[in-house]
Structure 1
Amino acid sequence: MPSTTINPTRMELTRLKGRLKTAQRGHKLLKDKRDELMKQFMDVVRENRALRRRVEEGLMRAHGSFTVAAALMSPEMLQQSLLYPKQSVELDMTFQNVMSVDVPKYHFKTTGQNAGEVYPYGFAQTSGELDDAVDAMSGVFQDMLRLAEVEKTSQLLAEEIEKTRRRVNALEYVKIPEMQANIKYITMKLDENERSNTIRLMKVKDMLLKESIEEKRAEDARALRDFRSEGQ
Structure 2
Amino acid sequence: MASATVNPTRMELTKLKNRLKTATRGHKLLKDKRDELMKRFLEIVRQNRALRRKVEAGLEQANASFTVASAIMSPEMLEQSLLYPKQSVELNMSFQNIMSVDVPIYEFKTKNSDPSEIYPYGFAMTSGELDNALDALSHVFNDMLELAQVEKTMQLLAQDIEKTRRRVNALEYVMIPEMEEKIKYISMKLEENERGNITRLMKVKEMILEEAHHYNEQEA
- The TM-score with structure 1 as length reference comes to 0.92
Task: List per-residue Cα deviations over 1:82-116 (Å, max 9, x = no partner).
Answer: 1111211000001111111110000100113x522
> Is 2:196 the counterpart of 1:196?
yes
> What is the 5 A alignment of 1:139-158?
139-158=139-158
Residues of 1 paired with 2:114 and 2:85: CA distance? 12
Report the AA paired with residue 142 of structure 1: N
Q: Which has the larger radius of gyration?
A: 1
Q: Which runs of 5 or more structure 1 residues have no equivalent in the other structure?
A: 221-232
Q: Which runs of 5 or more structure 2 residues have no equivalent in the other structure?
A: none
Displacement, 1:122? 1.5
- For the aligned residues, what is the CA RMSD? 1.0
Post-superposition, which runs of at least 4 consecutive aligned residues in structure 1 deviate over 6 A?
none
SS in 2 for 1:84: coil
Cα contact 2:3–2:185 (8 A) shared by 1: no
Residues 4 and 99 of structure 1: CA distance in aligned 2, closer, same or farther (over 3 Å): farther
> Is 2:163 the counterpart of 1:172?
no
Displacement, 1:120? 1.5
Cα contact 1:87–1:115 (8 A) shared by 2: no
Residues of 2 paired with 1:153 and 1:43: CA distance? 11
Aligned residues: percent identity?
Answer: 71
Q: 1:86 maps to what in 2?
A: 86
Residues 78 and 2 of structure 1: CA distance in aligned 2, closer, same or farther (over 3 Å): same
Residues of 2 paired with 1:134 and 1:116: CA distance? 11
Q: 2:36 maps to what in 1?
A: 36
> Is 2:105 the counterpart of 1:115?
no
Residues of 2 paired with 1:218 and 1:73: CA distance? 135
Further displaced range: 127-136 or 158-167: 127-136
SS in 1 for 2:67: helix
Report the AA paired with residue 41 of structure 1: F
Residues of 1 paired with 2:180 and 2:35: CA distance? 26
Q: 1:229 maps to what in 2?
A: none
Residues 4 and 106 of structure 1: CA distance in aligned 2, closer, same or farther (over 3 Å): farther
SS in 2 for 1:94: strand
Further displaced range: 93-102 or 188-197: 93-102
